[in-house]
A and B are shown apart, each in its own frame.
Chain A
Amino acid sequence: MTADTAMTVITNAPRRDVRNGARRDPVVSQGLALLAGISAGPGLAAHRGRLGPAPAPRVDELVQLARDVDLRGRGGAGFPAAIKLASAARRKAVVVVNASEGEPASRKDAALMLLAPHVVLDGAAAVAHALDTREVHVVVPSELPSIRVGIEKALRDRVGSGERIRWKLHDAAPRFVAGQAQAVLQLLAGKKNLPVTAWQPEAVSGHKGRPTLLSNAETFAHLGHLARVGADGYAAFGTPGEPGTTLVTLRGDGSDPEVREVAFGTPLTDVLTQAEMARPLLLGGYHGTWLKPAQLQGLGVSRRDIAAAGATLGAGVLLPLDEGGCPLVRTEALVDYLAGQSARRCGPCMNGLPAMAEAVRDLVHRAGPVARVEELCGLVVRRGACAHPDGTARLVTSMLRRFPEEVDAHALGDCSAGRSEVFA
């Protein structure tokens, strides 16, 4: 791209690093169910004193409970836990707890693993009992060594207390796609921690071809809690249609990240500040969807309400736009980061995401064509081993859809950063 023909938009939007060099530890508030005991510390004795032994449900009981409360996976896709459990309930099953949390703006699994490790591990033990297996793998992020240290101690304490589970710990590579299910299975097999094509769901044929229940760490915490308190106890929080709680990460890549456990149905006004409610919100993380302030009014932390608004809760990541920010400039930085996170294995992702980053950069700063951005989004979707290109296209598509006036403004060399009312 030559500079002489380019029209450069001068923006006053803050251009911070997408992923802060020094990640700040999130502030974690005492929670309703999963995070109810964090003030007593992460130790096993305090945990057992408060909640007793790990639950030991039969598989049909656990499947029924998960069905009763419509428990969904908390890794982002929201797949029904009951279906996954029932599919994996065959001979020689393996359990995999995925705490790798590759999404840079999500900190909730880190919070769980650091502050309530036995809530997660009890869930994994309950699932292992239900599936009649003793093999449980735990995948932790290698860029946060404190989690590994904490989990090593937690597992030593459990084995020391007589628990007959063969726990195996694995370190996930520090990249966005390392936590994807097939990439985790590669890691367990001693191969590169990168996605490969899945010809069958891992619950059918996963680790070493065995039925594999691979879920996000928070999902195990919910399964353990559910097995302990039953469907009625679980429904003490939430709404009749969506019982229970969920973990959310607020401003996860910013300077004041926060993790909270909220009941389903909690109004967004209870989660975001008044100022944040008046700004665009990126919901669901870097693979998520933009919502305009007008769409936030009356919205709650509810999978259904959020789906009706054309977004998904994903792994519970809420990223309000910075004060004085421009959603286009923010998206441009995110796409640039996501393009760099491609594993560079699948052609459409390896070529398409850098091209998309360039097309978005042109759109934002040089009045580049919207059509080229749309074309590239279409070219990468469903053309890879994992959902990284699809998620990136989702982010970009939502930017085009929610902020057409701002796209027009940039085409004229303008930028509305600092005038947040125009994004309403």
Chain B
Amino acid sequence: MNDQILRVDWPVCTAHGLCAEMLPEVVSLDEWGYPIVHGPVKREDLEMARATVKACPTLALRLLKPPARP
């Protein structure tokens, strides 16, 4: 219900890969080193997700509330 979504600002991301190290529960890397986001961020991972957003070297991550479903 309160799960948030990690979104990538793709033109800003330059594949440092820090997100996959900090948040392996949610992020893995593709063959070029860019993040693959697996589903929403669970409540227990939220604090680490916030830290990951802040730590991204290019500030290419955002935590968003899931879109309201009509």
Binding site for B on A (CB under 8 A): 194-197, 199, 343, 345-349, 351-352, 379, 383-385
Chain A neighbourhood of B8, CB < 8 A: 383
Given contacts A347-B32, A347-B34, A348-B30, contact A384 B10 (CB under 8 A): yes
- Please tell me if the beta carbons of A197 and B11 are within 8 angstroms of each other in the complex: yes
Q: Which of A195, A346, A347, A349 has the most CB of B within 10 A?
A: A347
Q: In chain B between 1 and 53, which residues have their CB closer than 8 angstroms to a CB of chain A?
A: 8-15, 30-34, 36
A351 touches B32 (CB 8 A): yes
Contact at B10–A346, with CB atoms within 8 Å?
Answer: yes
A384 CB, nearest partner CB in chain B, Å? 5
Contacts of B12 in A (CB 8 A): 197
CB-based contact A197/B32 at 8 Å: no
| Contact yes or no, B62 A347, CB < 8 A | no
| Complex partner residue of A197 from B9, B15, B31, CB under 8 angstroms | B9
CA separation between A381 and B10, bound complex, in Å? 12
Q: Is the CB of A347 within 8 A of B9?
A: no
A345 contacts B32, C-beta separation under 8 Å: no
The one of A195, A347, A379 in contact with B15, judged by C-beta atoms closer than 8 angstroms, is A347
6 closest residue pairs by CB, A with B: A346-B10, A347-B34, A345-B11, A351-B32, A197-B9, A385-B10
Chain B residues with Cβ below 8 Å from A385 are 9-11
Q: Main SS of the interface on chain A?
A: loop
Closest to A182 in B: B11
Q: Which residue of B lies closest to A350 (CB)?
A: B32
Contacts of A343 in B (CB 8 A): 11
CB nearest neighbor in B for A195: B11
Cβ–Cβ < 8 Å partners of B14 in chain A: 347
* Total count of chain B residues near the partner, CB < 8 A: 15
- What is the bound-complex CA distance between A348 and B11, given in angstroms? 10
In the assembled complex, the Cα of A194 lies from the Cα of B12 at a distance in Å of: 13
* Residues in chain B near residue A352, CB distance under 8 A: 32
Residues of A within 8 A of B30 (CB): 348, 379
- The answer to whether B34 touches A383, judged by C-beta atoms less than 8 angstroms apart, is yes
- When C-beta atoms are compared, the residue in chain B nearest to A375 turns out to be B31
B62 and A348 contact, CB distance less than 8 A: no
* Docked complex Cα distance between A351 and B30 (Å): 10
- With both beta carbons as reference points, the residue of chain A lying nearest to B32 in the complex is identified as A351
Nearest opposing residue in chain A for B64, CB measure: A199
Which of B11, B15, B30, B33 counts the most A-chain CB atoms under 10 A from its CB? B11
Give chain B residues whose Cβ lies under 8 Å from the Cβ of A194: 11
Nearest CB of A to B45, in Å? 21
Q: Tell me if B10 and A199 are in contact (CB < 8 A).
A: no
List 10 other contacts, CB 8 Å, given A346-B11, A351-B34, A384-B10: A197-B12, A345-B10, A346-B10, A346-B13, A347-B15, A347-B34, A379-B30, A379-B31, A379-B36, A385-B10
Residues of A within 8 A of B11 (CB): 194-197, 343, 345-346, 385
A378 to chain B, nearest CB (A): 10
Q: How far is the CA of A349 from the CA of B32 in the complex (A)?
A: 11
Q: How near does chain B come to A102, taking the closest CB pair, in angstroms?
A: 18
In whole Å, how far is A101's beta carbon from the nearest beta carbon of chain B?
Answer: 23
Complex CA gap A346/B10 in Å reads 5
A-B contact pairs, 30 of them (CB 8 A): A194-B11, A195-B11, A197-B9, A197-B10, A197-B12, A199-B62, A343-B11, A345-B10, A346-B10, A346-B11, A347-B10, A347-B15, A347-B33, A347-B34, A348-B10, A348-B30, A348-B32, A349-B10, A351-B31, A351-B32, A351-B34, A379-B30, A379-B31, A379-B36, A383-B10, A383-B36, A384-B10, A385-B9, A385-B10, A385-B11
* Chain B residues within an 8 Å CB radius of A379: 30-31, 36
Q: B8: nearest residue on chain A (CB-CB)? A: A383
**A393 → chain B closest CB, angstroms:** 14
Which residue on A lies nearest to B33, using beta carbons?
Answer: A347
* Nearest Cβ on chain A to B56's Cβ, whole angstroms: 14
Inter-chain CA distance A416–B15, complex, in Å, is 42
Q: Which of B10, B13, B14, B33 has the most CB of A within 10 A?
A: B10
Contacts of A348 in B (CB 8 A): 10, 30, 32, 34
